[in-house]
Amino acid sequence: MTTVAVILAAGQGTRMRSDLPKVLHPLAGRPMIRHVLEAVRAAGVDRIVAVVGHQAERVAGAVDEDVRCVLQESQQGTGHALLCAEDEASGFERVLVVPGDVPLLTAGTLSALLRHQAERQAAAVLLTAVVDDPAGYGRVVRDAAGRVERIVEEADAGPAERGIREVNAAVAVFAGPALWPALRRVTADNRQGEYYLWDVLPVLQAGGHAVDAVPAGDVDEAMGVNDRVALARAEAVLRRRIGEHWMRRGVTLVDPATSYIGADVEIGPDTVIEPLTVLAGRTRIGAGCRIGPGAQLYDSEVGDGSIVGPSVIEDSRLGRGVRVGPFNHLRPGTILEDGARVGNFAELKNTRVGTGSKVPHHSYLGDATLGRDVNIGAGTVTVNYDGRAKHPTRVEDGAFIGCNVNLIAPVTVGRRGYVAAGSTVNRDVPPESLAIARSRQENKEGWVRRRFRRDGDAPPGR
C-alpha cells in the first residue's frame, strides 16, 4: 500500500519561551524534528511532507531535500494544518500523521501502526498511551464496547473526561480516500476556535468507517515536548537509549549517567568511555580506545587503540594508537597520524603531526606540518600570524625542536635538523643542521653584592 507521511511542524511552541521554533530545539545533538524524520523514514513510507508555518524557512532548512514542505500561513489547528498538505498527500492509499514534537517515537511503533491498519482496514488507527499524569493531553473516550468514540482536548474536557488516563499520542494512520472528504467537514466549534484533526473521527464513524487504536508499548514514545521541562525529560530518555545501545554493542560506559553521547556518534567495540565525557556531532571512535574522564570531542575521529584524556577536541582526526592528554585543546583542522602523541597543556590548530611525532607539553602549534618522529620541546610556539595573515611552519622528518623555541612563520626546519633551546628562528634551517638563535650568556660576578650595597637594600630573599 502506498503511504505518505505528514509531519505537522507549523506551530510556534510558545511554552518553550524561545525565538527558536519548538521543533528545532536540539535533543542528543539533533533538532527535534530530525528524530521524528528518522523514525518516519525507517518505518518505510513513499513520501514525506512537512507542514511548516512559524519561521517556515528556518524549519524547512532543517529537513532533508526530499521532504516536501507546505506552508500553513495561519495556525488554525491541526486539522487545518493537515488540509494544507492535501495537494502533496492526496492520491496515496494511506496517510501517516506525526507531530514534529514527539522525538521519542520509534520506527518499530510506526511500523506496527501501519501493519495494524492494513490488517483491520480501518479508516483511522490511533496511537494511544496510558499515563500516570494525563494533564495536557487529549483524552481517548471509548464507548461501552471499548471502541474509540472520540478524542477530547483538555480545554474541552469535563471532570469525568479529565480523569481518563488513556491519552492521544497525536500519531495516526488514515485511509487516504476516506480522510480528505471527512476532514473538510470538521468545524472549529470548540473553546480554542481551531480545526482539531481528531474531530474527524466522529465524521468517519458517521460515514460507516471503522476507527481503531493501538497502545504504545513504551509510554515514553507518546511524550510530546511542549516546554523545556519536557525537553529535559526527553533528553534523559534519549541519553539512556543511546547509552544502552552502545553498551550492547560492546562499549563500556563506566558511568552512563554522566556520559553524554550524541545521536550521530559511532563507537567501536572494547572502547571505554570514562565519566564526564562528551561525544557530540558526527564523532567516530574506533575499537579498543579509552576516552576521558572529562574529555570533550566534537565532530572528530579517533582511530583504534587510542587514548584521549581530559581534553577538548574539535573537528580533528586522530589516527591509530594516538595518545592525547591530559588538558589539551585540539582545534579544527588538527590531524594526528598513527602513534603521534600530544602530552599536556598544548594547543594545536590546523596542524598535522606525523607518525610517531611528539608534542609533549606546553606548546602552541598553528598552521604547522610535522613529519615523522619529530620532537617538539616544551614551550614551543609557531608564530603563525603577522597581524594580517596566517603563515605555515614545516618541520620535516626526524627534526628536534628544543624547549622554549619560537618558530616565526613562514619557516621550515629541514630533515633531522636541530633547533637549540631558547631560540627564535625566522630563517629556514637546512637538513641535519643546528640552529642557534639566542644571545650569548654573560655572567657578571659580584653584581648583586655591588648593587644592593649601593641601594642600601637587602638582596632578594633576605
Write out the chain's pLDDT in tens, 462 residues.
899 999 999 998 899 999 999 999 999 999 999 999 999 999 999 999 999 999 999 999 999 999 999 999 988 999 999 999 999 999 999 999 999 999 999 999 999 999 999 999 999 999 999 999 888 888 999 988 888 988 998 888 889 999 999 999 999 999 999 999 999 999 988 888 889 999 999 999 999 999 999 999 899 999 999 999 999 999 999 999 999 999 999 999 999 999 999 999 999 999 999 999 999 999 999 999 999 999 999 999 999 999 999 999 999 999 999 999 899 999 999 999 999 999 999 999 999 999 999 999 999 999 999 999 999 999 999 999 999 999 999 999 999 999 999 999 999 999 999 999 999 999 999 999 999 999 888 999 998 888 887 666 665 655
> pLDDT at position 287, please?
98
352 and 203 both lie in a single domain: no
Instruction: Please report the pLDDT score of residue 459 as a whole number.
Output: 59
Same domain for 194 and 257: no
Distances (CA, A) of 26 to 29, 40, 295: 6, 18, 21
Number of domains in the chain: 2
Residue at 455 is within a domain: no
418 in Cβ contact with 436 (< 8 Å): no
Secondary structure (3-state) at 115: helix
pLDDT digits (tens, 9 = 90+) for 337-396: 999 999 999 999 999 999 999 999 999 999 999 999 999 999 999 999 999 999 999 999
Partnered with residue 152 across adjacent β-strands are: 139
171 and 136 within one domain: yes
- Provide the 3-class DSSP secondary structure of residue 450: helix
What is the pLDDT, as a whole number, of residue 385? Answer: 95
Whether 199 and 98 share a structural domain: yes
In a shared domain, residues 10 and 102: yes
249 and 216, same structural domain? no
Residue 43 lies in a domain: yes
Judgement on whether residues 382 and 265 belong to the same structural domain of the protein: yes
Asked whether residue 448 is assigned to any structural domain, the reply reads no
pLDDT at 461: 58
Task: Say what the pLDDT of residue 373 is.
Answer: 98
Distances in Å between the Cα of 93 and the Cα atoms of 89, 99, 121, 179 are 10, 20, 11, 10
Q: How many CB atoms lie within 10 A of CB 3?
A: 20
Helix (H, G, I), strand (E, B) or coil at 412: strand
Q: What predicted TM-score, i.e. pTM, was given to this entire model?
A: 0.90
In a domain, 450, yes or no: no
Same domain, 48 and 111: yes
Distance CA 314, CA 335 (A): 11
Q: What is the model's pLDDT at position 462?
A: 56
322 belongs to a structural domain? yes
Pair 113, 151 in one domain: yes
Q: What's the CA angle centered on 154, arms 152 and 155, to 5 degrees? A: 105
Q: What is the pLDDT at residue 112?
A: 95
CATH of the domain at 361: 2.160.10.10
Q: Which residues pair with 195 in a beta bridge?
A: none
pLDDT digits (tens, 9 = 90+) for 230-250: 999 999 999 999 999 999 999
72 close to 88: Cβ distance less than 8 angstroms: no
Q: What CATH number does residue 94 fall under?
A: 3.90.550.10
Query: Maximum distance among all alpha carbons in the chain?
Result: 112
Contacts of 177 (CB under 8 A, 6+ apart): 93
Q: Show the domain range for 86.
A: 3-222
411 in a domain, yes or no?
A: yes
**Does residue 251 share a domain with residue 211?**
no
Q: What pLDDT is stored for residue 153 in this prediction?
A: 86
- Predicted confidence at residue 457, as pLDDT, reads 62
β-strand partners of 70:
51
107-120 and 32-43 helices, crossing angle to 10°: 40
Catalytic residue set: 361
Burial class, 402, CB count within 10 angstroms (exposed 0-12 / middle 13-18 / buried 19+): buried
Based on the fold, state whether residues 394 and 263 are members of the same structural domain: yes
Q: Are residues 426 and 328 in the same domain?
A: yes
